[in-house]
Amino acid sequence: MGLKERLNQTKRYYNRNGFRKTAVAVTERIFTKENPEFAYKEAPGEELVKQFETDLGEAPKISVLVPAYETNEKYFIELIDCMLRQTYTNWELIIADASDEKKLSNLVIEDERIRYLELPANRGISNNTNEALKAATGDYIGLLDHDDVLTRDCLYYVAKAIIKSSPAFLYTDEDKADEKMHTFFESNRKKKLNLDLLLTNNYICHFLVMRADLMKELRFRPEYDGSQDYDLILRATAHALEHNEEVVHIPRILYHWRTYEGSTSVNTEAKRYAYDNGKKAIEDFCRKKKWEVVVDPTPHLGFYHLYYYPDVFANRPEVGAVCGPLYTFGRISGGAMKADGTLYYKNLPKGYTGYLHRAALQQEIPAGDVRNMIVRPQLQEMFHNIVGDPKKVKAQDAITKSILFCEKLKEMGYIILYEPTQKRG
């Protein structure tokens, strides 16, 4: 992202959130460096050749849908090229073009796998995508924006994952790229399916691939345009959890999200209505669950916070405990933990939001620090038998007691929720 885009982004953040929050956010961005281990590295040529020559057996057909509207011709050529260069070949590309002038038709390569649909009018991204969805003949269906590209090995890894477990849907890691697709940055290394984290933002995003029958059943809802993928993912997640179907995360960067002024990847104000519709999608999910919640936006567009009434325990019987962060000298010293007691967000300064704002987001966690934990009323006796008085737990004993209590919770079928705004009582 160039300096001009950074300055414009900062100005928009300031207009929404004021000086203090902007100063903290800018300071965090300045002093936070990208982890080189997360950076995209193109697969070597010999690996790509090996993939091309690999027989995957009964390989699924993957349909890739592209709703196009006034698409930059250069971007479109690169999109076609990224498909033709896939090491996995059992795919079809369906382009639903709603542009006023159908210039793209002259750029479509003659290939039986590529299907170009001329839509008579632009009826919005959901309706346009639904037209492409009707034409899809694949076993699984993926969604590709008209100005982005897939890596050459994307569909190969998707197909392998499908063959292994036939999931309800799957998703890959992604990153952003400059307009010329020369520089890659802001790698999004995602987590496995985490419902509570998903309810705070659409971290799944690209590249989403879903079983064809499920996507055709759910379809895209026009009233959620701009966040139509988020709405689809929330409804598909509800289906997968209800029917005990697998959701797979492929931990590889296989999707490049192009950035340029005017795109939502750079200018989050470009489609402000999308974030309002994201909030609506979350509210719809909660309404169907019969949860009493208020969904509020956070200072970062596209990120949300859920407030449960009267509390989370009254709404969600699966939640056994809620854990918040602890600070020592203004830095995180306790809170969300891995199952082995390793601390998430360790030493992160107070007010900072961390990688992809995750330190400021609600999420299910493997374990939580008992020194800032609220437990379900019927579990309080067990809590005090294991922990005692949480205010008297010494730092050196906190990890052991936290792991022990959280293991007991999980054995009983409960989950632990991280609440970043929770203060120690």
Tell me if 348 sits within 8 A of 359, measured CB to CB: yes
Average the pLDDT over each of 7-16, 106-115, 213-222, 357-366 and give the range with the smallest value. 7-16
- In the predicted structure, residue 328 carries a pLDDT above the cut 70: yes
* Strand-pair category, 247-258 with 169-177: parallel
Tell me which amino acid residue 33 is.
K
- In the predicted structure, residue 345 carries a pLDDT above the cut 90: yes
Per-residue confidence (pLDDT) for residue 8, from 0 to 100: 62
With both helix axes pointing from N to C terminus, report the angle between 228-242 and 125-135 in degrees, rounded to the nearest 10.
50
If one counts every other C-beta atom within 10 angstroms of the C-beta of residue 180, the result is: 10
Residue 338 Cα to chain centre, angstroms: 20
Tell me if 100 sits within 8 A of 172, measured CB to CB: no
Tell me if 132 sits within 8 A of 68, measured CB to CB: no
Instruction: Output the average pLDDT for the chain.
Output: 92
Pseudo-torsion of CA 161, 126, 230, 318, nearest 10°? -90
Interatomic CA distance for residues 142 and 155, integer angstroms: 10
- Give residue-wise pLDDT tens across range 73-96: 999 999 999 999 999 999 999 999
pTM of the model: 0.92
Residue whose structure tokens are 């390989």: 59
Nearest residue to 100 via CA among 128, 78, 119: 119
Tell me if 137 sits within 8 A of 63, measured CB to CB: yes
Mean local confidence (pLDDT), 336-347: 97
% pLDDT > 90, the chain: 84
Burial pattern 280-312, b for ≥16 Cβ within 10 A else e, equals bbbbbbbeeeebebebeebbbbbbbbbebeeeb
Per-residue confidence (pLDDT) for residue 264, from 0 to 100: 57
With both helix axes pointing from N to C terminus, report the angle between 380-387 and 395-411 in degrees, rounded to the nearest 10.
140
Average the pLDDT over each of 7-11, 74-78, 99-103 and give the range with the smallest value. 7-11
Mean local confidence (pLDDT), 312-335: 97
% pLDDT > 70, the chain: 89
Question: Taken in order 107, 156, 175, 35, is the CA torsion positive or negative?
Answer: negative
